[in-house]
Structure 1
Amino acid sequence: MCVANWVFLFLVLVDKCCMTSQKHGDPYSHLGLEFILYLVEILREALCRRTQRSRAISPEVQVLAALGFYTSGSFQTSMGDTIGISQASMSRCVSNVTRALVEKAPQFITFNRDPSCIEQSFQAFQRVAGFPGVLGVLDCVQVTIKAPNSEDSSYVNKKGFHSVGCQLVCDVRGLLLSAETNWPGGLRDSDVLERSALHKQLQGTEEGWLLGDRRYPLRKWLMTPVECPESPAEFQYNLAHTATHEIVDRTFRAIQTRFKCLDGTKGYLQYSPERSSSILLACCVLHNASLQSGLDAWTLERTDPLEQPESLEQRPEDRDSQAEDLRKQLIVKHFS
């Protein structure tokens, strides 16, 4: 088939898929033709089969099939019928595209430490609620999975269901600066942070900080709320902290809404923790790629009530007196 004919058929196929998505209220349609074509091009080399079999599935169809799964959470969709492939082929396409997207993660999810980027981050975050020096907002979220075959209890979280934990940092636009998706759901957020690559990366940070909720320890590079505020300045600090930190919660809700395979209210990922973690990271890459292509992070944001986190029970020996002094200075200077 000549290139022109194939391009025409692909455009028709994308149009059919988008129409099917709109009919069923699926956010697949919000990704748009230009973004889908962009994905095909950046993933083409990884998806091209090193085989001469006539039934090899093209990169175009693989991308459409995987997007159909990510945005619906099921292989049993009208997408497979529209594209013209079987459920087994859908599964292979998802595996191939997921691996290709995971390989692209370092390209799309980066914590830029360039001084000009840091200054832009400070200014953008301060415009939200007046909180200065913010590099990003941090949270650890849970994605429901099926129970591992080994009955590994480390994946049972505090709510009693199996999950993988994903530690996220995002900027003021909802762009992910860091995404570590491979943590057992039973780990505390503070334990995930301590073991993470992010922790090592930020240990020597002298300027600026992340914002984390009450589940994290106060550090010089990680500002947390005042546990029992007493002064008006401490109350103002907490209000500004909450309003700014909410960005990461909104971001993950938007990711779950666009990529329904991650939405625990619709079911759970029917895979091993390792494959579930890869699918989660692939969706994070797609989220960033869509933002960098001009889509809005919160077009499809849900408005679920925010869950109030439990405070971290911190031992006296784990307290950081230098961080406490830094937070006090911050409160006096900017919130008094």
Structure 2
Amino acid sequence: RKQKLAEHICPLILSLETKPRQLLGAPARGERSPLPTALSEGSALKARIKNSPAASSAELRRSQVIQTPKELENMVRIFRARWGFPHCIGALDSLHIPINPPLRLSADYCNGQGWHSILTQATVDGLGQFWDVSTAFPGSMENSAVLESSSLWHFMGKAQKYVLLGDATYPLQDWILKPYQEDENLTQRQLQFNYRLKRAHSVIENAFLRLKARWQILLKCDDCSLELLPTLVLACCILHNVCEAHDNPFNEEWLEGTEPTELPKPCQPAPAAMEDGRAEQVRELMCQYFESCGEG
């Protein structure tokens, strides 16, 4: 089954630049996905990717996957229907993947919790499918710095009427909403906002769990070269989308061990200097909206 998956992934990577919709689309009616449901070691996958001309590609670019305002409006509709959060096209978060870097790069890849990792920034839609992925950043980088250097920052930083949902590690922007600090003297509607945002943000937390559960090579990439890792991570994200779109079976038992307690997630808050003062108005409007809805 792993060999069959390896034969399937190379064409996917090679056609990433030209056929994104075929990559992420649903199967024809009556067809079943040929993909296996889990990959624990991935040796065949790594071997085939390494020889691919597309091995230098490290980002599933937003402009190749989302091309028209109509698509964005559909994403808003789905996100609101599933998570009750308006004007939202996705949830943003990061994933630290454990690695064993060369000794000379040890400090660069040592994250804020003291273990070595590469950092992947990802955005998912309301269905938990990735539509923007940037990877291979050294673990020592903060989420805010990764965001600022990614294509997502330049895309969403333009005039948009949509928002993404993040956590405290991301700067508050008029297009990135995050919870109010819990240590503040919060009003009831601010507490309600936090609850609604965190509930909706769980879509990417669950996506990361399912990603690691299916492709357990991501739990520890000690035997992968730094040159191979970006494409390996990208390939797993693509395959996650294919499995989710095709309703590929998911065994809940795979989730065991996907969140090792000895590797706590780095959570450095975003610097205040990156915060956009105008964004507070957007967050307040959302508070008013949820209060008027009277929804829990």
Q: TM-score, normalised by structure 2?
A: 0.76
Partners of 1:105 and 1:281 within 8 A in 2 = yes
Residue in structure 1 matched with residue 119 of structure 2 by the alignment? 165
Shift of 1:286: 1.9
Residue in structure 2 matched with residue 196 of structure 1 by the alignment? 150
Task: Give the partner amino acid of 1:222.
Answer: I
Query: What are the Cα deviations for residues 24-56 of structure 1, in whole angstroms up to 9, with x where unaligned?
Result: xxxx69xxx7xx59827936989xxxxxxxxxx
Residue in structure 1 matched with residue 247 of structure 2 by the alignment? 295
Distance of aligned partners of 1:147 and 1:38 in 2 relative to their CA distance in 1, 3 Å threshold: closer
Distance of aligned partners of 1:329 and 1:308 in 2 relative to their CA distance in 1, 3 Å threshold: farther
Please give the alpha-carbon distance, in whole angstroms, between the structure 1 residues aligned to 2:123 and 2:290. 24
Residue 180, structure 1, aligned to residue 134, structure 2: yes
Partners of 2:90 and 2:124 within 8 A in 1 = yes
Residue in structure 2 matched with residue 93 of structure 1 by the alignment? 48
Residue in structure 1 matched with residue 11 of structure 2 by the alignment? 42
Query: What are the Cα deviations for residues 160-179 of structure 1, in whole angstroms up to 9, with x where unaligned?
Result: 12111000001111211101
Task: Give the partner amino acid of 2:162.
Answer: G
Please give the alpha-carbon distance, in whole angstroms, between the structure 2 residues aligned to 1:111 and 1:91. 24
- Matched residue of 2:278: which SS? helix
Shift of 1:158: 1.3
Please give the alpha-carbon distance, in whole angstroms, between the structure 1 residues aligned to 2:79 and 2:14. 38
Please give the alpha-carbon distance, in whole angstroms, between the structure 1 residues aligned to 2:6 and 2:110. 39
Residue 73, structure 1, aligned to residue 41, structure 2: yes
Partners of 1:155 and 1:186 within 8 A in 2 = yes
Task: Give the partner amino acid of 1:249.
Answer: E
Shift of 1:159: 1.8
Distance of aligned partners of 1:298 and 1:263 in 2 relative to their CA distance in 1, 3 Å threshold: same
Residue 156, structure 1, aligned to residue 124, structure 2: no
Structure number having the greater helix percentage:
1
Consecutive unaligned residues of structure 2, counting only runs of 5 or more, are 16-34
Query: What are the Cα deviations for residues 267-312 of structure 1, in whole angstroms up to 9, with x where unaligned?
Result: x3323323222211121122223334x1349655627679787461
Residue 144, structure 1, aligned to residue 98, structure 2: yes
Please give the alpha-carbon distance, in whole angstroms, between the structure 2 residues aligned to 1:199 and 1:123. 23
Larger radius of gyration between Structure 1 and Structure 2: 1
Match of 2:216 among 260, 266, 275: 260
Consecutive unaligned residues of structure 1, counting only runs of 5 or more, are 1-16, 18-27, 47-66, 81-89
Partners of 2:122 and 2:132 within 8 A in 1 = yes
Query: What are the Cα deviations for residues 200-244 of structure 1, in whole angstroms up to 9, with x where unaligned?
Result: 111113211110011111000100101136222111111110111
Match of 2:180 among 226, 240, 260: 226
Residue in structure 1 matched with residue 287 of structure 2 by the alignment? 331
Partners of 2:170 and 2:270 within 8 A in 1 = no
Match of 1:279 among 224, 232, 250: 232
Shift of 1:139: 0.4
Runs of 4+ displaced beyond 6 Å: 303-309
CA RMSD of aligned residues (A): 3.6
Distance of aligned partners of 1:314 and 1:297 in 2 relative to their CA distance in 1, 3 Å threshold: farther
Task: Give the partner amino acid of 2:8.
Answer: L
- Matched residue of 2:131: which SS? strand
Match of 1:269 among 213, 218, 222: 222
Residue in structure 1 matched with residue 30 of structure 2 by the alignment? none
Match of 1:130 among 69, 80, 84: 84
Distance of aligned partners of 1:204 and 1:181 in 2 relative to their CA distance in 1, 3 Å threshold: same
Please give the alpha-carbon distance, in whole angstroms, between the structure 2 residues aligned to 1:236 and 1:254. 28
Partners of 1:109 and 1:179 within 8 A in 2 = no
Match of 2:269 among 295, 312, 318: 312
- Matched residue of 2:91: which SS? strand
Residue 242, structure 1, aligned to residue 242, structure 2: no
Please give the alpha-carbon distance, in whole angstroms, between the structure 2 residues aligned to 1:319 and 1:107. 25
Please give the alpha-carbon distance, in whole angstroms, between the structure 1 residues aligned to 2:179 and 2:10. 44
- Matched residue of 1:155: which SS? coil
Please give the alpha-carbon distance, in whole angstroms, between the structure 2 residues aligned to 1:218 and 1:127. 24
Please give the alpha-carbon distance, in whole angstroms, between the structure 2 residues aligned to 1:309 and 1:40. 31
Residue in structure 2 matched with residue 11 of structure 1 by the alignment? none
Please give the alpha-carbon distance, in whole angstroms, between the structure 1 residues aligned to 2:96 and 2:8. 27
Partners of 1:43 and 1:101 within 8 A in 2 = no
Residue in structure 2 matched with residue 64 of structure 1 by the alignment? none
Please give the alpha-carbon distance, in whole angstroms, between the structure 2 residues aligned to 1:309 and 1:44. 30
